[in-house]
Amino acid sequence: MKIFTLCIIGILLLAACGDNHDYAPKPRGYFRIELPKKAYRDLVSDYPFTFKYPTYAVIQKDTQTRIPARLAPMTHLLNMKFPQFDGTLHLSYETITSKKVFDELVEDAHRFAFKNTVKATDIEQRNISIPANKVYCVYYAIGGNSASSVQFYLTDSVKNYLRGALYFNTAPRLDSIQPVLNFIKKDIDVMIGSFKWKR
């Protein structure tokens, strides 16, 4: 009787270990992201520019980055933080004092954008002109798992220059941040479209 019972258990165990070819690994899951309703307000400040920015963002002066004393009167650093998404749009303003300075600023913006080519799948460069506001923009949309997916600069080509770069405080995985990135890109479009120099 014991041998018969052991044989039955052995047969059942063997039957339970059969190959199941229907197994497929599940794709990685991510938390659902609740996106706030779009609403904007004007930047009211002593900066030499103004623009509309989302009500769910916070504008703060950048106190972490050191500015050389000789450049301090001509440079403003600020951050547009998106606390809900753990992202920051870093903005730096410079006064253009000569054509040489302007050319250097434009070259720096191009170099910083193309620094992302190691992880980028592509970089799309777009020119935006708003002559009524004397705003001329070069916008870099950087594809793939790069540290910064959006970079741009705005200028009047005479005395004002502002550079922006969007970063998230997380490992760059495009598939997980894509909905948030698309959402914030629309805010950057509104910012650029409403941008005005004060002087």
- Residue 162 in contact with residue 123, Cβ under 8 Å? no
Look at residue 195 in the predicted model and tell me its pLDDT. 97
Residue 191 has pLDDT above 60, yes or no: yes
Instruction: Select the more confidently predicted residue: 186 or 22.
Output: 186
HSE, CB side, 13 Å, CA atoms: give it for residue 61: 8
Portion of the chain with pLDDT greater than 90, in percent = 52
- Residue 150 in contact with residue 141, Cβ under 8 Å? yes
How far is 168 from 82, CA to CA, in rounded Å?
A: 9
Instruction: Select the more confidently predicted residue: 32 or 180.
Output: 180
Look at residue 68 in the predicted model and tell me its pLDDT. 55
The values of phi and psi at residue 165, to 5°, are -145, 130
CA 147 vs CA 2, 4, 29, 122: distances in Å: 66, 65, 21, 13
Q: What is the pLDDT of residues 69-123, one digit of tens each?
A: 555 556 889 999 999 999 999 999 999 999 999 999 999 998 888 876 666 677 8
Q: What is the pLDDT of residues 110-159, one digit of tens each?
A: 888 887 666 667 788 999 999 999 999 999 988 877 778 899 999 999 99
Q: Kindly list the domain boundaries of the chain, sorted by start residue.
A: 56-197
How far is 113 from 142, CA to CA, in rounded Å?
A: 8
Instruction: Find the mean pLDDT for residues 5-11.
Output: 76
Residue 21 has pLDDT above 60, yes or no: no
Please spell the DSSP secondary structure of 68-125, one letter per residue: -TTTGGGEEEEEEEEGGGTEEEEEEEEE--SHHHHHHHHHHHHHHHHGGGGTEEEEEE
How far is 189 from 192, CA to CA, in rounded Å?
A: 5
pLDDT, the chain, mean: 84
Strand partners, 136: 129, 155
Residue 17 has pLDDT above 90, yes or no: no
Instruction: Select the more confidently predicted residue: 94 or 13.
Output: 94
